[in-house]
Amino acid sequence: MAYETIIVETRDHVGLIRLNRPEALNALNAQLVEELGEALARFDADDAIGAIVLTGSEKAFAAGADIKEMQGKSFVEAFREDFITRNWEAAARTRKPVIAAVAGYALGGGCELAMMCDFILCADNAKFGQPEINLGVMPGAGGTQRLTRFVGKSKAMEMNLTGRFMDAAEAERSGLVSRVVPADSLVDEALATAAKIAEKSLLAVMATKEAVNRAYETTLSEGVRFERRMFHALFATEDQKEGMEAFIDKRQPQFKDR
Ligand code: CAA
Q: Which amino acid is at 139?
A: P
What pLDDT is attached to residue 84?
79
Q: Are 26 and 60 in contact (CB under 8 A)?
A: yes
Alpha carbons 41 and 155: distance in angstroms, whole number: 33
How far away, in angstroms, is 4 Cα from ligand 1 center? 19
Closest CA to 55 of 199, 149, 154, 187: 187
Three-state SS annotation for 64-118 = CECHHHHCCCCHHHHHHCCCCHHHHCHHHHCCCCEEEEECCEEECHHHHHHHHCC
Q: What is the dihedral of CA 75, 24, 148, 166, to 10 degrees?
A: -140
What pLDDT is attached to residue 81?
87
**Domains of the chain as residue ranges with CATH:** 6-198 (3.90.226.10), 201-249 (1.10.12.10)
How far away, in angstroms, is 60 Cα from ligand 1 center? 10
- pTM for the whole structure: 0.97
Alpha carbons 121 and 172: distance in angstroms, whole number: 9
Q: What is the pLDDT of residues 194-226, one digit of tens each?
A: 999 999 999 999 999 999 999 999 999 999 999
Question: What size, in residues, is the chain?
Answer: 258
Ligand 1, pocket-test mutation among 19, 23, 36, 67, most atoms within 8 A of CB: 67
Closest CA to 102 of 139, 156, 160, 57: 57
Q: Are 254 and 246 in contact (CB under 8 A)?
A: yes
Closest CA to 98 of 185, 3, 197, 232: 197
What ipTM is given for this predicted complex? 0.98
Catalytically active residues, by annotation: 65, 109, 112, 132
Q: Are 91 and 117 in contact (CB under 8 A)?
A: yes
Q: What is the pLDDT of residues 37-93, one digit of tens each?
A: 999 999 999 999 999 999 999 999 999 999 999 999 999 999 998 887 777 899 999
Alpha carbons 129 and 108: distance in angstroms, whole number: 6
Q: What is the pLDDT of residues 118-173, one digit of tens each?
A: 999 999 999 999 999 999 999 999 999 999 999 999 999 999 999 999 999 999 99
Residue list, ligand 1 pocket, CB within 6 Å:
24-25, 27, 63-68, 84, 105, 107-109, 112, 131-132, 135, 139-141, 143
* Residue nearest ligand 1's atom 37 by CA: 63
Closest CA to 145 of 55, 59, 84: 84
Q: How confident is the model at residue 243 (pLDDT cuts 50, 70, 90)?
A: very high
- N- to C-terminal Cα distance for the chain? 29
Alpha carbons 101 and 45: distance in angstroms, whole number: 22
* Residue nearest ligand 1's atom 20 by CA: 24
Q: Which atom of ligand 1 is nearest to the CA of 105?
A: 35
How far away, in angstroms, is 63 Cα from ligand 1 center? 5
What pLDDT is attached to residue 231?
98
